[in-house]
Amino acid sequence: MGALIWLASYPKSGNTWMRSFLHNLFRGTEEPVHINEIADFCLGESSAHWYAARAGKPVSDLTEEELARLRPIVHRDFTTVFPDSVFVKTHNYLGEWCGVPLHSMDVTAGGIYVLRNPLDVVISVSHHFNKSIDESIEHLANEDTVAGDMETHVLEVHRSWSTHVRSWTQHPSPQLLVVRYEDLLHKPRKYFKQVANFLGLKPAPARLERAIRNSSFRALKNMEQKSGFKERPKEAESFFREGRSEQWREVLTPEQVRRIIADHHEQMERFGYIPEDYRDAVPVKAEPSNATG
């Protein structure tokens, strides 16, 4: 039996990229591992077939409470897939749902959390879920956000972007590595090496470089264009769209930028996501009163 290593993120923040990098790193092949083979390496926490097998019926027939009670059982089933570490993708926030933890810590060894600037996330969410930018801004701020078609995927509990980020990062732990999408993008050798070292790996420089190259945005997009990607939602034209940072400067209006900052300024401040030219959009904290009554 193995212990779970969660690969966690808010949707459209780099989870697939991280999974592809690790798959290529462990395989060590000259050619890129195909994106449709990711599931052979990393399990999906919300994949419905695990829950249906345990319930003995389609997950669409389960109540939310029944589904929540199944989660810890399914997580224990995950530990039987590989003898050592078992990587599991999750978009759930780190908390409870229907009174049951969304991640079972008694079978967990650790986790990697990838976060991305919400100013760019909102654009990717817009394309991924076929929403307008304004609808996507509301989506990121919605504490009731859940996703899942209850046929191929059970419900995922995302909450807002800020709640998601806070839940995973507010209590630093040596068992959890937090990494920014932008750092992986701009300094891949440094930060992907950090990921490998966190997992106890010391890959040769050539192997690390090859894994980075084989999981690059260009490589992933080429594979999707040639043979498709089974994780692409039906409403999206493509899963891998641009993969750049700072897209928001070309897409969002100043008013939209200010709305996002107003919604998420606390976590954006923590991770260096407040643009210098929008510092005035950060709400001013009220000074404590010195009145004695």
- The CATH number of the domain holding residue 191 is 3.40.50.300
pTM for the full predicted model: 0.90
How many domains, the chain? 1
Within 8 A by CB and 6+ apart from 277, the residues are none
- Collapsing DSSP to helix, strand or coil, 112 comes out as strand
- Tell me whether residue 12 is in a domain: yes
User: What was the pLDDT predicted at 244?
Assistant: 67
DSSP states along 197-212: HHTT----HHHHHHHH
- Tell me whether residue 20 is in a domain: yes
- Tell me whether residue 182 is in a domain: yes
- Tell me whether residue 26 is in a domain: yes
- Collapsing DSSP to helix, strand or coil, 291 comes out as coil
46: containing domain: 4-116+142-233
**Residue 167 structure tokens:** 């839940």
pLDDT tens for residues 127-145? 888 899 999 999 999 999 9
- Tell me whether residue 202 is in a domain: yes
- Tell me whether residue 268 is in a domain: no
**Residue 68 structure tokens:** 């929540």
pLDDT tens for residues 197-255? 999 999 999 999 999 999 887 777 777 666 665 555 555 554 545 566 789 999 999 99
- Cα angle 77, 78, 84; round to 5: 120
Question: Running along the chain, 293 residues long, what does each successive block of 10 average in pLDDT?
Answer: 92 92 91 78 93 95 96 97 93 98 97 98 90 97 91 94 98 96 95 97 96 84 65 53 76 97 97 95 69 46
